[in-house]
Structure 1
Amino acid sequence: MKILPLKITDYDRVYALWQTEHMGLNNVADTRDGIEKFLRRNPNTSFVAELDGDIVGAILCGNDGRSGYIYHACVSREHQNKKIGTRLVAKVFEALKAEEISDVTLAVYSDNEDGKRFWERMGFRARDFLTYRNKALVELEWYD
């Protein structure tokens, strides 16, 4: 298995992988144009896991110059529990450190027990004293 930079040419295969619950996709940011824009701003911090020519995992991460943010992370169901997610996260940590980013944040759906356990193993801690909020500046449709 190889961990490679996520490129816009991977979009169709990665988007197909993201078609699972708890991804939090939307009709603006997660389109080909949206991901292409994201990758132009963050060319070094998103990766795919490739096995025998197939993309079996992907992680979308960026930063604002201060903090890193993991937006989407997914490993195909049949390839889970093989340390692929762990390797993708390690690569993200390495890339963020290279850009002198000191912390990374993510959101996990409250009913995603597998996801919460995975991120706890990766060293992420719940910040129960915070409430996550967002405001759409354009009309968004969320897919989950």
Structure 2
Amino acid sequence: MCKEIRINVFEIKDYDNVYKLWEEIFPDSTDSSYSKEQIELFLSRNPGASFFAEIDGKVVGAVLAGYDGRRGYIHHLGVLESYRRKNIGKMLMDKAEEALRNAGMNKVHLFVFKDNINAKAFYNNIGFKQRYDLDMFSKALK
């Protein structure tokens, strides 16, 4: 029997369950920018653009998406390893892309670690094109 996958809008009330997912999927990447206060600020500036997948009440995937008024951005997409290859990532991306389109965005960008071959293949398969003409720079403000 196939279990029902529910895709829900990510609201701050869902933070604890989504954060547990992030800790499991991205154990070395949950810095202070993932604090409840930072995520609440992000979600309030990008209402209805982020989503999580749930099966039998368990959060199994999430996408953190937003926009700056000109471009859309996928900040994180993650699905628990045991739930991958079940179309959950695509379902989450479809919802995020729809929300970004509805917000008036014509283009969406995302960032992938250079050594994340599986993510690169996934994004390529759903229509994203890798760019080679840009380098990303970061600076911590705190």
TM-score by length of 2: 0.91
Give 3-state SS (helix, strand or coil) of 2:34's partner. Answer: coil
Output the amino acid matched with 1:8: I
Comparing both structures, which one devotes a greater share of its residues to helix?
2
- 1:9 Cα deviation from its structure 2 partner: 1.4
Aligned positions, number: 137
Give 3-state SS (helix, strand or coil) of 2:40's partner. Answer: helix
Asked if 1:134 is matched to 2:129, the reply is: no
Where does residue 88 of structure 1 map in the other structure?
A: 92
- Structure 1: where are the runs of 5+ without partners? 139-144
Output the amino acid matched with 2:40: E
Task: State which of 22, 31, 44 in structure 2 corresponds to 1:26.
Answer: 31
1:27-80, Cα deviation, whole Å (9 max, x unpaired): 1x2101100110110111000111111111100000011100111110111110
Distance 1:34 1:21 in 2: 17
1:91-134, Cα deviation, whole Å (9 max, x unpaired): 11111111110011010000111111111112111111111111
Higher relative contact order (CA 8 A, sep 6+): 1
Q: Structure 1 residues 93 and 119 mapped into 2: Cα distance closer, same or farther (>3 Å)?
A: same
Output the amino acid matched with 2:9: P
- Single out whichever of 18-27 and 58-67 deviates more from structure 2: 18-27
TM-score by length of 1: 0.90
Distance 1:56 1:41 in 2: 24
Distance 1:94 1:22 in 2: 29
Q: Runs in 1 of length 4+ with deviation above 4 angstroms?
A: none
Output the amino acid matched with 1:11: Y
Contact 1:23–1:72 at 8 Å: present in 2 too?
no
Percent same amino acid among aligned pairs?
42
